[in-house]
Amino acid sequence: MAEVATAPNASQQVPLDTIPISPSDQANSNEQSSTSATTDDNAIRTVFDDPENFNVKHPLMNKWTLWFTKPPSGKGDNWNELLKEVISFDSVEEFWGIYNNITPTSELALKSDYHLFKAGVRPEWEDAQNKHGGKWAFQFKDKKLINIDALWLHVMLAAIGENLEDEDDNEVMGVVVNVRRGFYRIGLWTRSIGRADTARSRTQEQGRETLIKLGRRFKASLQLKENDNVEFSGHTDSAHSGSTRAKAKFTV
């Protein structure tokens, strides 16, 4: 587990070891734990009853993994060297414990990324569960006019709360935020690109409708205006074009 580090200034580089995943007030927490030891250990305590000494968690429908992409050093780093797995979680309490103790997106160095994916899925085009899929994405070009931390939080909560898709859709793979010089970009990765799926008895039209519905919910989670266009492109098309900005297949 990474050591606790104070949040850096926005102008500083943010290497992986400055992303803490342990509470910074561990000492205080230990003191409170010893004080509360005299209470009934068998009593049910949720995080709402006692935010420090709860013994019941609220499970999520899926287990999730947070990943981080370090800024390249300019020395020929490959993707596998830059992409780092941070931590996995499967409860509401664990999510907030992690989120409250990592560097905010607004303070990450340029060319950094956060990826939040279902456990067992790597945030790579080549992953077996991603290679036939695609991505909804939107670029926020005026970085000063948006609260990227709030937007990224809304998208993560929508993903882990299973609010982006219906129960049987099984499309959401993960969400990602990119920090670049001229923009922030938030993306939603999907399992498919809207084609027919005989294994799930889904016609091409049904597949398309599922992706469009997913895109609209994603757009709503980003709090965009009606005339803001969120675009969907396939990973294969992006790989062939040599860019994450392949020609859009769908737009909402």
pLDDT tens-place string over residues 67-118: 999 998 877 777 778 999 999 999 999 999 999 999 999 999 999 999 999 9
Across 110-140, b (16+ Cβ under 10 Å) vs e yields: eebbbbbbbeebbbbbebeebeebbbbbbeb
- Per-residue pLDDT band for 42 (boundaries 50, 70, 90) equals confident
In a domain, 16, yes or no: no
pTM for the model: 0.79
Specify the range with the lowest mean pLDDT, choosing from 20-34, 180-194, 235-249: 20-34
Q: Which of 40-49, 50-59, 179-188 has the highest mean pLDDT?
A: 179-188
In a domain, 50, yes or no: no
* CATH number of the domain to which 202 belongs: 3.30.760.10
Question: Number of structural domains, the chain?
Answer: 1
- Give Cβ neighbours of residue 114 (< 8 Å, ≥ 6 apart): 66, 67, 68, 69, 105, 108, 152, 176, 177
In a domain, 47, yes or no: no
Question: Dihedral, CA atoms, 72, 128, 236, 206, nearest 10 degrees?
Answer: -130
Domain that holds residue 72: 55-251
Helix axes 92-99, 148-160, angle to 10 degrees: 160
Residue 63: pLDDT above 50? yes
In a domain, 17, yes or no: no
Tell me the pLDDT tens digit for each residue of 185-223: 999 999 999 887 877 788 889 989 999 999 999 999 999
- Give Cβ neighbours of residue 59 (< 8 Å, ≥ 6 apart): 90, 91, 92
Residue 40: pLDDT above 50? yes
Q: Which residue has the higher pLDDT, 100 or 33?
A: 100
